[in-house]
């Protein structure tokens, strides 16, 4: 069910409680720094951000992170195929492991949590697994802020 709100009906929670939003932004910055320290590329981080935003249906974050992914060197072809990444050979084993972690962090299916970590550990270091999980947790939070606030998506 989609509920359409007018600009007057929207409550931008990031504006109502900016200190909470700043703390969330700081968490995302720290997650990005952890990813960089762990040797994850900006392109992989943005791939995770885009995939999670697709799952959550966050148009605002999709606009932001699709552009960031392209700027980081991602291709339009891979972004277009991202919802079907399991069906292609276009993604590396490390990317596949990261996407698996991202999807599990987003959906949180009970049965898959421990097996995902085992699979991911075959391709990613402990630091990389931790960084992907923190990036996933932070983009999930941002998706919810944007969705619940009804952030508008403007053409750029």
CA distance 54 to 45: 14
Give the per-residue pLDDT at 81.
98
Domain residue ranges in the chain? 17-149
CA distance 12 to 18: 10
The sign one gets for the Cα dihedral 107, 110, 112, 118 is: positive
From first to last of its 156 residues, the chain has per-residue pLDDT tens of 555 656 667 899 999 999 999 999 999 999 999 999 999 999 999 999 999 999 999 999 999 999 999 999 999 999 999 999 999 999 999 999 999 999 989 987 766 666 667 778 889 999 999 999 999 999 999 999 999 999 999 887
Asked if 117 and 97 touch (Cβ cutoff 8 Å), the reply is no
Helices within 4-149 (DSSP H only): 13-16, 18-37, 42-56, 59-71, 76-81, 93-107, 113-123, 126-149
Give the per-residue pLDDT at 4.
60
Give the per-residue pLDDT at 10.
86
Give the per-residue pLDDT at 118.
75
Q: CA distances (Å), 70 to each of 36, 108, 146, in order?
A: 18, 28, 21
Give the per-residue pLDDT at 2.
56
Topology of the domain covering 17-149: AhpD-like (1.20.1290)
């Amino acid at each position: 069910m989609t509920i359409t709100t007018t600009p007057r009906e929207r409550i931008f929670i990031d504006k109502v409680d900016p200190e909470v939003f700043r703390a969330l932004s700081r968490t995302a910055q720290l997650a990005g720094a952890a990813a960089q320290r762990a040797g994850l590329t900006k392109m992989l981080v943005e791939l995770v951000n885009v995939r999670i935003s697709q799952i959550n249906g966050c148009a605002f974050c999709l606009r932001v992170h699709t552009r960031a992914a392209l700027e980081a060197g991602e291709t339009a072809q891979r972004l277009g195929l991202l919802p079907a990444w399991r069906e292609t050979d276009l993604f590396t084993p490390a990317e596949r492991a990261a996407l698996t972690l991202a999807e599990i962090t987003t959906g949180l299916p009970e049965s898959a949590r421990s097996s995902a970590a085992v699979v991911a550990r075959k391709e990613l270091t402990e630091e990389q697994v931790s960084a992907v999980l923190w990036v996933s947790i932070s983009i999930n939070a941002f998706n919810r802020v944007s969705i619940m606030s009804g952030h508008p998506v403007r053409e750029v």
